[in-house]
Amino acid sequence: MDIKKASKYNIVEIESLYNDLNDYLDSHINYPGWKKGVYPVKETAIKGIQEGNLYVIRDGNHIVGTVILRHEQELGYSKANWNINLDYEDILVIYTFAVHPTYLKKGIGKRLMDFIIQYSKEINIKAIRLDVYEKNKPAIKLYKKYGFDYIDTIDLGYSEYGLDKFELYQKLL
């Protein structure tokens, strides 16, 4: 399976992946708390492609997963004690870690995590950070398996969507 930066030619397929995933989450346990038409949406993909930080994983000709890797953190991250002072260029933050529902539990998340860690090392990143909805137990389990340390639980301002608390994690490299 191939992981590469997404291009503008991938927008329709990525939007379809987001919609398929949100439909799936709507009819199953919605661990991340995502909502169709709210997040992630087509504009999420467009912004990630414009910024050059949206990556896709393919199975043959089909995009089966995505992740956005940014140096910028959510404003709420400043509320936490990260135990290390780093400049933005030394940090990568994981956003929109998504796997198509047909490919759940098939190792796509692990492949994306392996890529994120390897890529971070290649560009001399000192820490990978992320936030995860506190009830997203499958994602939390994956992050802990990959050596991410719990930092804090904070409010990122998404309570209007029923998402009150997010756990912050960090992996030092």
What are the chain's domains? 2-130 (3.40.630.30)
Write down the pTM of the prediction: 0.94
Q: Tell me the per-residue pLDDT of 50-65, one tens digit each, with 9 for 90 and over.
A: 999 999 999 999 999 9
Of 42, 46, 45, 24, give the one whose Cα is nearest residue 34: 24
Interval 90-106: pLDDT, tens? 999 999 999 999 999 99
Query: Which residue stretches of the chain are H helix?
Result: 11-27, 42-51, 108-122, 137-145
